[in-house]
Structure 1
Amino acid sequence: MKIGIIGATNRTGNVILQEAQSRDIDVEVILRDHRRVSSDAEVLEIEPTLLTSDDIEDLDVLVCAFGTGKLNDSSRLYPALIKHLIEITKQSSVRLMVVGSSSCLYTDAERSQRLFDEPGFPEAAKNSANSLNDVLKLLRASDGVDWTYISPAEKFVFRAPRTGHYQLGTDFRSYNAAGLSEVSYADYAIAFVDEIQNHQHINEHISVVSR
């Protein structure tokens, strides 16, 4: 199996890279500047929006872990990037897997409210949240694309330990047995790479909570 990762130099993309390599999955890092790569993974130095179907034809899975910093204008570029990735994976055997956001998870049974609609949601994070929701809308509206969008739990904790245990949820905010909606980056990466290998949630928005 071979996967390509866009965004492998940010926190989430990097832990997915490390988890994949620990399982002897062949990984290609796709980015603008090869000097930012600290791993021994194969590198394709290209602006991701310039990728072609020929560039990814040897991949089984294309992972998009594009970072959208809370105050960064790059958040406006994410939907455009996803639209492009949909076009180059459409009607191909390359699966598109996207690192999602907890902000897009539903919080009520009527599916009328998402986490980013709740009172107190940080104003500084709203641009990023809207961008990631637009990404999800594009995936759901796509045709001929094998995609999966995976949200972390509400609290996504970088320095929390790798327990090796997690539970999958749907597109609703979910909780573990302790009543917590949280997941470590490491456990999220385990769930993400499990889904890469198991290919069980086709064209679905799912979520991950630590057990």
Structure 2
Amino acid sequence: MKIAVVAANGRVAQKVVKEALDRGFEVKAFGRGAENKTAASDYVQKDIMDLTKEDLAGFDAVVDGFGAWEEDKLDGHVKTSQHLCDILAGTDTRLLIVGGAGSLFVNPEHTAVVSDGADFPAMFLPLAKAQGEELAKLRERNDVKWTFISPAGDFQADGERSGKYILAGEELTLNSKGESIISYADYAIAMVDEIEKGDHIQQRISVVRE
């Protein structure tokens, strides 16, 4: 398979690049910085907002690894994913987005989300709101084969690669130990599995360590 990873120098995106390469995928990485921090030999320095239809033509899938924590950059979550949607609209190329856990539902009625909880860390609220808005905008698109993949609540950058995960849906899911946890490495496995054999078109899915 031939995939593009944008904002590829991000820590999650780097894991996705490596996982895909290890499976024999052809990977082209796009990053804003001059330095290629990924394992891909094909790297292009280009900001997401400068990408064109020509840049992303011919790929089976595009992975959006954009992430921002600074409050003045949080609107980039909506802007960048919508720009990618505009580029890929009407094509067969899938768009897979590294999402957040704050927007996962915590009740069967889907009226309450993780970030509504009293114990949700205040410092993460702006990010959760931004990624929730990103998902809401994606739901309005029926012209793009998008998939939004939310990690578990405890998303561990340096966690082990267990190779095992539970594929879940829109609700916060706990494993047999009552945990909502996953490593970047296992998340990358789930992302590449979804590219390879998934069919969750225009859906949000989530993953948690088994």
TM-score where L is the length of structure 1: 0.95
Q: CA deviation at 1:202?
A: 1.1
- Per the alignment, residue 188 of structure 2 pairs with 189
- Per the alignment, residue 84 of structure 2 pairs with 85
Q: CA deviation at 1:49?
A: 0.7
Query: What 5-or-longer segments of structure 2 have no aligned partner?
Result: none
Distance 1:15 1:67 in 2: 14
Question: Does 1:20 find its partner at 2:20?
Answer: yes
The one-character-per-residue Cα deviations of 1:105-161 (angstroms, maximum 9, x if unpaired) are: 001112111111111222221111111111101111002110100011111122221
Distance 1:209 1:202 in 2: 20
- Per the alignment, residue 59 of structure 2 pairs with 59
Q: Equivalent pairs: percent with the same residue? A: 32
Name the SS of the counterpart of 2:92 in structure 1: coil
Return the letter of the residue paired with 1:100. Answer: G
Q: CA deviation at 1:68?
A: 1.4
Distance 1:151 1:8 in 2: 18
- Per the alignment, residue 150 of structure 1 pairs with 149
- Per the alignment, residue 3 of structure 1 pairs with 3
- Per the alignment, residue 177 of structure 1 pairs with 176
Distance 1:100 1:38 in 2: 20
Return the letter of the residue paired with 1:3. Answer: I
- Contact 1:151-1:205 within 8 A present in 2 as well: yes
Return the letter of the residue paired with 1:121. Answer: F
- Per the alignment, residue 30 of structure 1 pairs with 30
Distance 2:152 2:47 in 1: 30
- Per the alignment, residue 121 of structure 1 pairs with 120
- Contact 1:191-1:208 within 8 A present in 2 as well: yes
Q: CA deviation at 1:39?
A: 2.6
Distance 2:200 2:155 in 1: 21
Q: CA deviation at 1:199?
A: 2.8
Name the SS of the counterpart of 1:159 in structure 2: coil
- Contact 1:29-1:44 within 8 A present in 2 as well: yes
- Per the alignment, residue 209 of structure 1 pairs with 208
Q: CA deviation at 1:95?
A: 0.8
- Per the alignment, residue 166 of structure 2 pairs with 167
